[in-house]
Amino acid sequence: MGTVPVGVGGVRVTESSSASLVVDDGERVGKKGGVGRGAPEAKTAMALKNHSEAERRRRERINSHLATLRTMVPCSDKMDKAAILAQVINHVKELKSKAVEISKGYNIPSDTDEVRVEAEANAVNSGSFYIRATLCCEDRPELFAELRQTLDTLQLKLIRAEISTLSGRVKNILIMRCDDNANDIDRHIYTASVHQALKSVLDRVNSTVDFYPRAKRRRISMFESSCSSS
């Protein structure tokens, strides 16, 4: 047969506007019964078949992903599609909130880049003072060496470093001492240049990180659900 077995398929009319019911410009109606010029019919029939098969594959892709999600999310046996998706949404939210909760109190690298430099409040009032710097970015093996080198050229002595990594991200917290004779203004200038230096380190990381598989310049935070479209 031409097309599908078409159960009840026949003509369907949804009530509505008006007219148009009878239009049929004659040629399209051919179907298999008609003779007409044989070629085009077979073609459109094939096209239609391809179409429905493609659509079928598409549906299978979507449904297989849905099936996967069903297994990943709190046991949802016999839930309809919408319920599964709702459950997935809640699950993702819960995972995120757990992540942020765990991170409280620990210095866990976040998913957003961060450069922070601050002069320590309790700096001794002598020729030297302390700076606390934070750099959070994609992890790279040579990053810490590069960081030390950068700080060396700024004549900063690394006192203590707290480094944590998570899923390819790294967060460095660096306590450093500057031994220059420095008045208040110098300290601000110093702080600013340290900030700038770290920012350029970050930029270098972000310009080369594309060579690595997990390259995602802009990633969504575990904590935020912002989605900058544009």
Q: In angstroms, how far apart are the furthest CA atoms of the chain?
A: 102
Q: Exposed e or buried b for every residue in 169-203, given b needs 16+ CB within 10 A?
A: bbbbbbebbbeeebeeeebeebbeebbebbeebbe
Contacting range for a second copy; rule: CB under 8 A; set: 77-85, 126-134, 146-154, 155-163: 77-85
User: Which is nearer to DNA, 85 or 108 (by Cβ)?
Assistant: 85
Q: Which of 38, 40, 55, 68 binds a second copy (CB under 8 A)?
A: 68
Q: Exposed e or buried b for every residue in 14-27, given b needs 16+ CB within 10 A?
A: eeeeeeeeeeeeee
Is residue 24 at the binding interface for a second copy, with CB under 8 A as the rule? yes
Residue 144 corresponds to which amino acid? Answer: F
User: Which is nearer to DNA, 91 or 96 (by Cβ)?
Assistant: 91
Is residue 35 at the binding interface for a second copy, with CB under 8 A as the rule? no
User: Which is nearer to DNA, 86 or 100 (by Cβ)?
Assistant: 86
The dihedrals phi and psi of 214, each to the nearest 5 degrees, come to: -85, 35
CA 112/CA 169 separation, integer angstroms: 9
Query: How are strands ordered across the β-sheet holding 169-178?
Result: 114-119, 129-138, 169-178, 156-166
User: Which is nearer to a second copy, 193 or 225 (by Cβ)?
Assistant: 225
Select the binding partner of residue 228 from DNA, a second copy, none (C-beta < 5 to 8 A, by kind): a second copy
Q: Which of 36, 38, 101, 193 binds a second copy (CB under 8 A)?
A: 101
Tokens of 184: 């208040």
Is residue 39 at the binding interface for a second copy, with CB under 8 A as the rule? no
Is residue 13 at the binding interface for a second copy, with CB under 8 A as the rule? yes
Is residue 62 at the binding interface for a second copy, with CB under 8 A as the rule? yes
Select the binding partner of residue 123 from DNA, a second copy, none (C-beta < 5 to 8 A, by kind): none
CB 76 within 8 A of CB 83: yes
Is residue 103 at the binding interface for a second copy, with CB under 8 A as the rule? yes
- Minimal distance, residue 111 CB to DNA, in Å: 26
CA 176/CA 154 separation, integer angstroms: 11
Is residue 177 at the binding interface for a second copy, with CB under 8 A as the rule? no
Contacting range for a second copy; rule: CB under 8 A; set: 68-76, 112-120, 136-144, 192-200: 68-76
